[in-house]
Amino acid sequence: MKKRYFLEASAVLAGAALLSQFINPRSEIVTSSNTEFEVTKSEDEWRSILTPEQFRVLRKHGTERAFTSSLDKQYAEGTYLCAACDLPLFKSDTKFNSGTGWPSFFQPIEGAIATTVDRSLFMTRIEVHCRRCGGHLGHVFPDGPAPTGQRYCMNGVALKFIPA
């Protein structure tokens, strides 16, 4: 009996996860259509300069799988730039190991990012964008270390690391 309930519950959860993309289709949002950004390109132009995974994350608000980015464990001195427009976003001295599987920082470079409210996946989060091109970088959460208490949880494919 327990096995049947487990299978039914699993099917319901899987169905809810699949249906959530139709309830709030974030993947259909393309920030390149926003003309408020300094750097704007057509969808085809973005596709030509980004890898398919970068395009999915930066332009379609996707998320890379946890623990897949080489930048998660990168702790050398340097600067993290937007992979789409090369705007400096984070300094290495603000990076920390959050244990989440994504590169995490407690503070961006002043004026480098913009935020919006993300209500996808049945929750409300603060989404982080590159202020110059509008590329989706990740989310910010209020559970980071001092001095800010913030955790900027970024997609590694949305970033480019330049050693000091």
Catalytic residues: 153
Question: How many C-beta neighbours within 10 Å does residue 3 have?
Answer: 7
CB 118 within 8 A of CB 110: no
Query: Strand 113-118 and strand 104-105: pairing?
Result: unpaired
CB 131 within 8 A of CB 87: yes
The token pair at 74 is 């990168």
Burial of 124 (0-12, 13-18, 19+ CB in 10 A): exposed
